[in-house]
Amino acid sequence: MTRDRRDLALLHGRIRACTKCVAAGWLERARPIVAGKASDAIAIVGQAPGSVELQTGFPFSGRSGVVIRKWMAEAGLGEDELPYRTAITKCFPGKAANGAGDRRPSPAEIALCVLWLEEELAILRPEVVLLVGQLAIERYWGRVALDEAVGRSRRDGDRVYIPLPHPSGTSRWLNEERNRALLRRALRILACEVERLRVEEKLSERREPSTAARGSRPPRSASRTSARPSSPVRAAPRRSAARTPSRATGT
């Protein structure tokens, strides 16, 4: 087992044992949910698990998961190539007070939980990060309307951020044809990145180094050969407050 796999396994253990939001009075019960491998080159960052994920213990296993798998397939990713799946907060936050979807995690919960996400990304060093839904977009892209982010990408060093709408059926954003066109454009951007990772042999079973010092894989920039033009990434807003209600359901 490489150092990255060990580190990620240890981190997953710490995350799954986390009860910080229960201790702080934000949740009655903690059941942190995360899934993926240290070798994953693509990571999905969603909002929070939903009630189905609470039952199954796997991210994106409800209706949102069906939709996200369809999107991944459109971008050329098979079921056995599903990206690393995590979220801004790792526990089901409960239903929204108005009954429309799940409750959006509060800024205080996000502040408690997002440190886990930062540790995950530090170990994983994904080359592509899919920002699924407004909360993830706000954190890593900025507070903008969905139609100002979806359909675009930004490179930050070796990492490409690609915003996507939340696949929840409670979102009405995709009801408009022009927004569906933005989604198709975003998936084409992802398809280009998937193809690049395939060419660079980074998509599957990659970077399990046998020779790297200390059992750690080499920097991902070492074999980068192409760069699709993309606008520069801004400094990620840290712990931004959540202002607009969310109806997202399931990660």
Residue 168: how many CB atoms within 10 A of its CB?
25
Can you tell me which residue has the tokens 């997002």? 114
- The residue within the footprint of ligand SF4, chosen from 2, 89, 168, 246 (CB under 6 A), is 89
Does residue 136 come out as left (phi exceeding 0), alpha (psi in the -120 to 50 range) or beta? alpha
Which CB sits closer to ligand SF4, 67 or 248? 248
Q: Considering CB under 6 A, how many residues would be counted as binding ligand SF4? A: 14
- The residue within the footprint of ligand SF4, chosen from 38, 42, 44, 91 (CB under 6 A), is 91
Which CB sits closer to ligand SF4, 89 or 246? 89
C-beta of 105: minimal distance to ligand SF4 in Å? Answer: 7
Which CB sits closer to ligand SF4, 28 or 177? 28
CA atoms within 13 A on the CB side of 213: 1
Q: How far is CA 180 from CA 123, 151, 174, 189, 200, in A?
A: 34, 10, 6, 14, 30
b or e along 12-48 (b: 16 or more beta carbons within 10 Å of the residue's beta carbon)? beebeebebbeeeebbeebbbbbbbbbbbbbbbbbbb
Question: Of 18-26, 75-83, 153-161, 207-215, which part binds ligand SF4 (CB under 6 A)?
Answer: 18-26
What is the C-alpha separation between 123 and 7, in angstroms, rounded?
Answer: 7
Q: Please spell the DSSP secondary structure of 52-118, one letter per residue.
A: HHHHH-STT-SHHHHHHHHHHHHTT--GGGPPEEEESS-S---B-TTSSSBPPPPHHHHHHHHHHHH
Give yes or no for residue 21 binding ligand SF4 (CB under 6 A): yes
Give yes or no for residue 50 binding ligand SF4 (CB under 6 A): no
Question: Of 72-80, 87-95, 153-161, 240-248, which part binds ligand SF4 (CB under 6 A)?
Answer: 87-95
Give yes or no for residue 135 binding ligand SF4 (CB under 6 A): no
Give yes or no for residue 18 binding ligand SF4 (CB under 6 A): yes
Which CB sits closer to ligand SF4, 35 or 197? 35
Give yes or no for residue 20 binding ligand SF4 (CB under 6 A): yes
Which CB sits closer to ligand SF4, 11 or 160? 11
- The residue within the footprint of ligand SF4, chosen from 11, 50, 71, 90 (CB under 6 A), is 90
What are the residues binding ligand SF4 (CB under 6 A)? Answer: 15, 18-21, 27, 30, 32, 89-91, 109, 112-113
